[in-house]
């Protein structure tokens, strides 16, 4: 077990509640561009609620800390291949009449969909895992620009993309992201390499 993985495991409270996903870190220029956009476009409090920029590979849902530790080990001890993804247009997920998530759509290539399937298999090994509507057939690959917010359609339409639709991005391997829900703390549980 790597020192980075051991450090991540120690940072998880066994009896705490978490929400977790497997995600791919982004190349530094794209991550910087998203962070710079957030700095200009979002109020401070909303920026503090955002996870590090990433491509969500599989949402695992809510779990206790000891379950997150087991998931983290399962994801990080598996071998993963690098993959390339193609960026799409600006996208949004709706919550009623408003928009809850603005993102860069990602075209679902075979390698990414295979990684998603493998991550679902890992989740399926745990009794607590209950696949929700955003995995399997409901999986929509995306890179969140802002999440857990309320926007009007006009807010989204005013965002000028700085990325090129069709641009390819290379991703190294999935890692686990978590949000501690009691108290709310954002965690990037690495390792990324």
The 10s digit of each residue's pLDDT in 127-151 is 889 888 888 888 999 998 888 777 6
Please, what sign has the CA dihedral across residues 107, 111, 115, 117? positive
The region, left, alpha or beta by phi > 0 then psi within -120 to 50, assigned to residue 148 is left
3-state secondary structure of 164: coil
Pairing of strands 98-107, 168-171: unpaired
The CATH number of 3-184 is: 3.90.1140.10
H or E stretch covering 57: strand 54-64
Using CA atoms, how far apart are residues 117 and 119, in angstroms rounded to an integer? 5
Give the angle subtended at the CA of 175 by the CAs of 59 and 10, to the nearest 5°.
105
pLDDT at 170 over 90: yes
> 34: closest CA among 90, 100, 109, 110?
90
pLDDT of residue 188: 66
Q: How far apart are CA 9 and CA 69, in angstroms?
A: 6
Other C-beta atoms closer than 10 Å to the C-beta of 113 total: 12
As a whole number, mean pLDDT of residues 87-107 equals 85
Determine contact, residues 124/116, Cβ cutoff 8 Å: no
**Alpha-carbon distance 158 to 59, whole Å?**
29
d(Cα 130, Cα 134) in Å, to the nearest integer? Answer: 11
Cis peptide before 77 (omega within 30 of 0): no
How far is residue 148's CA from residue 126's CA, in Å, rounded to a whole number?
Answer: 27
Quickly state the pLDDT bin for 9 (edges 50, 70, 90). Answer: confident
- pLDDT at residue 88 above 60? yes
The tens digit of pLDDT for each residue in 10-58 reads: 778 888 888 889 999 999 999 999 998 888 877 887 888 888 899 999 9
pLDDT at 114: 95
**pLDDT computed for residue 96 by the predictor:** 76
Of the listed ranges 50-54, 115-119, 166-170, the least confidently predicted one is 50-54
Question: What pTM did the predictor assign?
Answer: 0.83
The structure tokens listed for 189 are: 């549980």
Rounded to whole angstroms, the Cα distance separating 58 from 119 reads: 6
């Amino acid at each position: 077990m790597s020192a980075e993985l051991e450090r991540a495991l120690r940072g998880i409270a066994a009896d705490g509640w978490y929400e977790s996903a497997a995600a791919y870190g982004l190349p530094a220029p794209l991550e910087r561009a998203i962070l710079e956009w957030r700095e200009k476009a979002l109020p401070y409090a909303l920026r503090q609620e955002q996870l590090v920029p990433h491509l969500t590979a599989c949402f695992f849902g809510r779990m206790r800390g000891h379950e997150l530790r087991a998931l983290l080990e399962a994801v990080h001890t598996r071998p993963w291949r690098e993959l390339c993804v193609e960026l799409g247009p600006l996208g949004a997920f709706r919550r009623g009449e408003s928009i809850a998530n603005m993102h860069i759509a990602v075209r679902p290539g075979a390698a990414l969909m295979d990684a998603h399937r493998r991550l679902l298999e890992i989740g399926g090994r745990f009794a607590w895992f209950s696949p929700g509507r955003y995995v399997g057939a409901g999986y929509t690959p995306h890179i969140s620009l802002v999440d857990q917010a309320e926007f009007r359609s006009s807010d989204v339409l005013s965002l000028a993309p700085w990325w090129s639709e069709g641009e390819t991005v290379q991703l190294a391997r999935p890692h686990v992201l978590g949000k501690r829900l009691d108290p709310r703390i954002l965690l990037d549980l690495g390792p990324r390499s």
